[in-house]
Amino acid sequence: MRSFSYSSPGQIGDASDAARESGAQIIAGGTTMVDLMKIGVIAPDALVDINGLSDLEGYAVAGDRMRFGALAKMSTVADDPAVIDAFPALSESLWKAASPQLRNVATLGGNILQRTRCPYFRDTAYAQCNKRNPGSGCAALEGGETNLHAILGGSSACVAMYPGDFAQALIAFDAEVVVSGAGGERTIPFSQLHVQPGDSPEVETVLEPGEIVTEIVLPVVPAMANSTYLKARDRESYAFASASAAVGVAMDGDTVSDVRIALGGVASVPWRATDAEDSLRGQPLTEETAREAGRIAFETAEELEGSAYKIALGADVVAGALMQVKSRMGGE
């Protein structure tokens, strides 16, 4: 780890100013950042610690909009009975992530900006990584292993997978993020926060230098209460998703009036499966329609050698999540 300067501003404006300096890096829980510094993937000159901005720790789920401060801890929100009751998929996406130790320090704002676990991005012995070292190539696509990679939203420059869970609950339910920077405050639809790799995988979000995520806002809809986050992984806990799905359903009699489906573990960015949602709306929710929605969700997936199994697995997970919601709603 390289030497760096450290500041802990008490005001968001000061924090934003400090973070705008070249070589500066915002740090909150630090669970990704410190890791990446230790393995030499990032080497900031200055760390701007925003943990002192205690205004950003609060959250509220009552009313017609849920609001989550960017510095709320993953474990605090995941364990809140009001969250569990009103929006189970959100709680589940948080507690199925990482380990209890990590969730106790990791923040919601930091979590949505979690970096990829692509082994080539994380091992600096590889010169080739377009994300870490723009223009150097992609070791994964150049004969490497692709079993942890994106089958949706990748490019010929990068197939790194977005590893987060929480983001899927957010994108499925039309979240927005409030950010604060030099130009003041602005609101970004969560679906537009992350950027697909395209030709410049080093650009991961639309955030400007110095912009700090302050709040995550969600409009409350009935499907939230009938939601779940199903995560398939090779061990019971502390593992990234091989495939996951955040889903929520609202029924009008026997047919689906609203449905939300987002996919984790399979895409370069948080991923909403709108075609799959369209296939279900107005239909009854059955094993057959659920499986069809799963199939449609992966219709545009790339056949990436090491991750080919994720097409079938992801479809099964979508179907399983929908059937789990159905059974929670008291279906057969």
Partner 1 sequence: MAQTINTRVTRTDARRKVTGAATYAADEIPAGMLHGALACSSIAVGTVTSINTSVAEAEPGVVAVYTHETLPDYKTVKGFYAGGPGSASFWPMEGTEIRYAGQPVAYVVAETAAAARRGADLVEVSYEEGESRIHMTPDDSFVVGAGEDSDGMILDQGDLQAGLDSAAQSVDMTFTTPFQHHNPMEMFAATAEWRGDRLTVWMPSQSVRTLRAGIAGAYGLPETSVRVISSFVGGAFGSKAGITPYTMLTIAAAKGVGAPVRLIVTRPQMYTVATFRPESEQKFRLGADAEGRLTAFEHIETAQTSQFDMVVNAGTHITRAMYACPNIRTEQRLSRSDTNTGGFMRAPNEMQTFWGLESAMDELAWKLEMDPVELRRVNDAREHPTEGVPFSSRSLMESYDAVAQSFGWADRGREVGSMTDGDWLVGYGCATATYPTNILASNARVRMQASGNAYIALAAHDVGTGTYTIMAQVAAARLGVPVEAVDVVMGEASFPVAPISGGSTTAASAGSAVHDGCMKIAQQVATRVSAMSEGPLSGVDPAQVTLDDGTLRGPNGQSQSLAEALSMLPEGEVEVIGEFRHPALTNELVAATFKGGYGTAGPVTPDFAMFAFGAEMAEVHIHRYTHEIRVPRLHGAFAAGTWLNRKTAHSQLLGGMVWGIGSALHEVTETDSARSRFLNANIAEYLIPVNADIREVRVEMLEEQDDYVNPLGVKGIGELGIVGTAAAIGNAVYHATGTRLTSLPIRMSDLVST
Q: Which residues in the 165-224 window bind partner 1 by CB under 8 A?
A: none
Q: Which residues in the 102-161 window bind partner 1 by CB under 8 A?
A: 117, 119, 123, 125-127, 139, 142-145, 147
**Which position among 204, 211, 277, 316 is part of the footprint of partner 1 (CB under 8 A)?**
316
Q: Which of the ranges 22-30, 71-79, 85-93, 315-323 carries the binding residues for partner 1, by CB under 8 A?
A: 315-323
Among 301, 299, 300, 298, smallest CA distance to 317 is for 298
Per-residue binder mask for partner 1 (CB under 8 A), 259-298, x = binder = ----------------------------------------
Q: Is 6 in the site for partner 1 (CB under 8 A)?
A: no
Q: Is 313 in the site for partner 1 (CB under 8 A)?
A: yes
Least separation in angstroms between residue 184's CB and partner 1 is 38
Q: Which residues in the 19-78 window bind partner 1 by CB under 8 A?
A: 39-40
Quick check: 65 and 217 in contact, CB under 8 A? yes
Least separation in angstroms between residue 276's CB and partner 1 is 15
How many residues of this chain interact with partner 1, rule: CB under 8 A? 41
Least separation in angstroms between residue 298's CB and partner 1 is 12
**Which position among 83, 138, 323, 325 is part of the footprint of partner 1 (CB under 8 A)?**
323
**Which position among 10, 63, 234, 330 is part of the footprint of partner 1 (CB under 8 A)?**
234
- Quickly count: other Cβ atoms within 10 Å of residue 249's Cβ: 27
Q: Is 236 in the site for partner 1 (CB under 8 A)?
A: yes
Contacts with partner 1, residue ranges (CB under 8 A): 1-3, 39-40, 99, 117, 119, 123, 125-127, 139, 142-145, 147, 230-239, 242-243, 308-309, 311-313, 316-317, 319-321, 323
